[in-house]
Structure 1
């Protein structure tokens, strides 16, 4: 035995699968506490000792882009910030790619197609279109 230490290049003990329903699994370094996603080594301290952390899978879109690369159909790829402090590039489904806006709440899409090993999220509360209020007129119309 190697005293609980893993050799470089071996798989960690956690399974950060995105295919589990109802949320995402992240990794938290047991040495420094940094939360990461799909890592062999901690980017801060270099440790390979991780614990699995379950997240609800809900986040906020920070930046959004419509992508046409490698497909005939457009898709949306956005940076999503999760409450655990993770910022991930995710594919957004459920709405037209051009309708996703920064600040939109999203959640993990359980059972979505993840052939490219990417995280797939869906918008669950699309902000309604806000119409600006009409400024009050200085001279209200009088009834004639």
Structure 2
């Protein structure tokens, strides 16, 4: 931890990356209270006075897409909303990319590392079958 007092606040370099033993580390603006993830400035008031906070990492998919960029296999890219109010682009694993849909609950993936530094989450529940038309 940084600082010498008993009220020392952990900085970003004191954490082990985006995932900590208690979940994910995000920033909370001291001026307006806006939660954000991996930002240098608050997206609302542009303050750089951000405090680290912890979330358990559970969220809900608000948008999902299948991409084939830079690889021969398809993968999922989703926007996930966390209960603290921030939205972040993540990769969701645990199902075929096309079976991840809006409203699916996700959590931090155990042992899933990304070489690109992206956040990897997994589905909490079994994927819903694709609709038959």
Q: Do these two structures clear the TM 0.5 threshold for a shared fold by scoring above it?
A: yes
Residue of structure 2 in register with 1:45 after alignment: 45
1:74-132 deviation digits (Å, cap 9, x = unpaired) = 10111111101111111011111111111111001143112111111000112555x9x
Instruction: Give the length in aligned residue pairs.
Output: 120
Gaps of 5+ in 2: 1-9
Residue of structure 2 in register with 1:94 after alignment: 94
Structure-2 separation of matches of 1:54 and 1:127: 27
The answer on whether the counterparts of 1:22 and 1:108 sit within 8 Å (CA) in structure 2 is: no
The answer on whether the counterparts of 2:22 and 2:54 sit within 8 Å (CA) in structure 1 is: no
Q: Given the two structures, how large is their TM-score scaled by the length of structure 2?
A: 0.80
Residue of structure 1 in register with 2:11 after alignment: 13
- Cα RMSD (Å) of the superposition? 2.2
Q: Given the two structures, how large is their TM-score scaled by the length of structure 1?
A: 0.74
CA apart distance, 1:51: 1.1
CA apart distance, 1:21: 3.7
Where does structure 1 differ by over 2 angstroms across 4 or more consecutive aligned residues?
12-17, 19-22, 126-129
Structure-2 separation of matches of 1:23 and 1:88: 15
CA apart distance, 1:44: 1.8
Structure-2 separation of matches of 1:84 and 1:103: 17
The answer on whether the counterparts of 2:19 and 2:25 sit within 8 Å (CA) in structure 1 is: no
Residue of structure 2 in register with 1:78 after alignment: 78
Gaps of 5+ in 1: 1-11, 132-144
Larger Rg belongs to: 1
